Amino acid sequence: MKFVLDAEQRLFTDTLHALLTGADTARAVRAWAAGDTKPGRALWSALADAGVFALAVPEAHGGAGPLPVELVCAAEQLGRHAVPGPFVETLAAAELLGRLGDDPLAATWLPRIAAGEALVSLTLPPAVPYALDGDVADLVLTADAETVREATAHGGTASLDPSRRLLPVVPGEPLVTGAAAASAAAYDLGALLCAAQQLGLGRALLDVSVEYARTRQQFGHPIGEYQAVKHHLADVLVELEYARPLLFGAALAYRTPEFSRDVSAAKAAASAASYLAARVALQVHGAIGYTDEYDPSLWIRKVRALYSAWGSPASHRARVVDAL
């Protein structure tokens, strides 16, 4: 099967890439990690103006969606530029709330999400136990097979990515009951968008590693001339290109019985591909690859943090096996 984006989807992707390329996202990542969310919030507003959050919100609540293929395009670019903040969680929360119909909770928050005015963190225990950036989110939700509740985030758990703050939550009173289908749908969309983010991170690390191999000299030659380096980089490209059709195939299966299975296949493949990209980036760059001052270190640490976010590769492989 061949997946080709149409002209509007390519233009949307290119526009986001250009926007984020000029936005100095590395500075926003470092500021977010230090507790200054102002540059990240500015990025959030720019993405809202580009229509990113409206893609996950139904038209009845001021959005343009849900549009899963466009959401995957957006999440890949946000991953490629390591944009900080709970954007996957916010988009998954939009999926959750959108499934609640005319519930007051949805009517209150979906228009704000579409406009980029609300950062939402979401826990779906046991697979998603912590509220990402719950301390700065405008709304923290926790949902399971029975209920949707507003929650309070407190404390904190260290993440491998300093720009990701993981907070335990205290659930409040139930706001919605009988939420099994909505919770499951939110988990699947979140896992899909996390996989897209991983693919973007892997692509960014491959690009920077190739460029470094072209310019870094050893024994009088660019290190990219040596087959050992070429083969590692080629392996990364193959893994990323293997994961891409699984990702878009899953997006096309949105709201079909195969969606959960296809999302898990994509998430497992994207986790493996991005992890390989990070490992090879470290091998190509040497020690400079993990220094705080070098921007690719931000991407490498985010890859490791996302490896098990929204379900580990083992759990997603198990879901694929169970579905066969």
pLDDT confidence band for 9 (50 / 70 / 90): very high
Residue 231 tokens, joined = 């083969």
Strand ranges for 6-130 from DSSP E: 120-123
Residue 173 lies in a domain: no
pLDDT at 4: 82
Q: Give the residue ranges of DSSP H helices in 216-312.
A: 227-252, 259-285, 296-307
* Distance from C-alpha of 287 to C-alpha of 51, rounded to nearest angstrom: 39
* Distance from C-alpha of 246 to C-alpha of 42, rounded to nearest angstrom: 32
* Distance from C-alpha of 109 to C-alpha of 78, rounded to nearest angstrom: 23
Residue 251 lies in a domain: yes
| Per-residue pLDDT at 224 exceeds 90 | no
Q: Which SS3 state, helix, strand or coil, does residue 43 take?
A: helix
pLDDT at 26: 93
Structural domain of residue 190, as residue ranges? 182-322
| Per-residue pLDDT at 157 exceeds 80 | no
Segment 229-244 shows an average pLDDT of 95
| Beta-bridge partner residues of 131 | 167
* Distance from C-alpha of 183 to C-alpha of 127, rounded to nearest angstrom: 11
* Distance from C-alpha of 106 to C-alpha of 239, rounded to nearest angstrom: 39
Segment 53-76 shows an average pLDDT of 94
Residue 126 tokens, joined = 């046991």
Rounded to two decimals, what is the model's pTM? 0.94
| Per-residue pLDDT at 160 exceeds 90 | no
- The answer to whether the beta carbons of residues 110 and 57 sit under 8 Å apart is yes
- CATH code: domain of residue 243: 1.20.140.10
- Integer angstrom CA distances of residue 153 from 35, 143, 150, 167, 211: 16, 14, 10, 6, 42
Q: How many CB atoms lie within 10 A of CB 322?
A: 10
Residue 18 lies in a domain: no
Look at the chain and report how many structural domains it folds into. Answer: 1
Residue 306 lies in a domain: yes
- The answer to whether the beta carbons of residues 178 and 203 sit under 8 Å apart is no
Residue 64 lies in a domain: no
Residue 6 lies in a domain: no
Residue 85 lies in a domain: no
pLDDT at 162: 87
Higher pLDDT, 137 or 174: 137
pLDDT at 29: 94
Closest CA to 280 of 197, 213, 200, 199: 213
pLDDT at 274: 97
Q: Which SS3 state, helix, strand or coil, does residue 22 take?
A: coil
Q: Considering all CA atoms of the chain, what is the largest pairwise distance in Å, rounded to the nearest integer?
A: 68
Residue 195 lies in a domain: yes
Q: Phi/psi at 24 (nearest 5 deg)?
A: 50, 60
| Per-residue pLDDT at 158 exceeds 80 | no
pLDDT at 1: 55
